[in-house]
Structure 1
């Protein structure tokens, strides 16, 4: 999760934290919002815009997969400490389409955090409608000291 978080004061994400999109890949899709009021049930969300749609008018599957992947890392933060991780595997089952204007929320959990890999699962929903369920595996990554190539 970006260190540059601000609290949202109005709209559908009022009370949530907003990560500034920045110039990374996630910035192309975000902004993302985080509800950390219950550290054991962190939520990650965004609002679908026209730029998130595919040619058929639904939220692009790649956009939903990006939210799932990002969420897996957010759920893993308490298990990473000062470390980092990379995605080893991300499996997803598309259940229903998302639409422009939808507030899409990811919830999930880490099911096991080992020495080298972290396993998690979650869902993306718009209200009561399940859009996507996912499981993933993250590999812990050693952080190189500054100046090492």
Structure 2
């Protein structure tokens, strides 16, 4: 059974039930992230969240290392996973995202993002974190999420 048949139909956070990512969730309904990823996440026993994906050839640049844009797209997705509890039922947009590239990532590596909410209040959530490739740091990031009201048009 393919992953596509292991996720439910529709949009939103969907539990993966089979394969390498069984027990993880995936956000269905963001066309860009679906093309760039897929990215997976789960809540850990300590209540924190982790995001991950497996590096594929399509994620690499001309030199054979993961494209910086791919790492930043993943970090952008991860700030929302890390901030899930602080966001509650709110939707949000990335107000600011910065990253420091530390080392290259390669095909086949497990890419993971972990972090913490530094401050959350009102409509703004500040997040910091680290992306690793097989446990080695490859990107340090800081992000600011702005909560927004309303629904997608």
Query: Could you tell me which residue of structure 2 aligns to residue 44 of structure 1?
Result: 51
Q: Give the whole-Å Cα distance in 2 for the aligned partners of 1:4 and 1:40.
A: 18
**CA offsets, 1:90-143, max 9 Å, x none?**
010000000011100000011100102110000000233100000011111012
The answer as to whether partners of 1:21 and 1:30 remain within 8 angstroms in 2 is no
Secondary structure of 1:66's aligned partner: helix
Query: Could you tell me which residue of structure 1 aligns to residue 79 of structure 2?
Result: 72
Offset of 1:39 from its aligned partner?
5.6
The answer as to whether partners of 1:95 and 1:130 remain within 8 angstroms in 2 is yes
Q: What are the ranges of 5 or more consecutive residues in structure 1 without an aligned counterpart?
A: none
The answer as to whether partners of 1:18 and 1:31 remain within 8 angstroms in 2 is no
Q: Give the whole-Å Cα distance in 2 for the aligned partners of 1:52 and 1:4.
A: 23
TM-score by length of 2: 0.84
Is residue 99 from structure 1 mapped to residue 109 from structure 2 by the alignment? Answer: no
Supply the RMSD in Å over aligned alpha carbons.
Answer: 2.2
Count of paired positions: 143
TM-score by length of 1: 0.86
Secondary structure of 1:4's aligned partner: strand
**CA offsets, 1:30-81, max 9 Å, x none?**
2222231326321100001010010110001011001101000111111122
Q: Give the whole-Å Cα distance in 2 for the aligned partners of 1:122 and 1:22.
A: 24
Query: Could you tell me which residue of structure 1 aligns to residue 93 of structure 2?
Result: 86
Query: Could you tell me which residue of structure 2 aligns to residue 109 of structure 1?
Result: 116
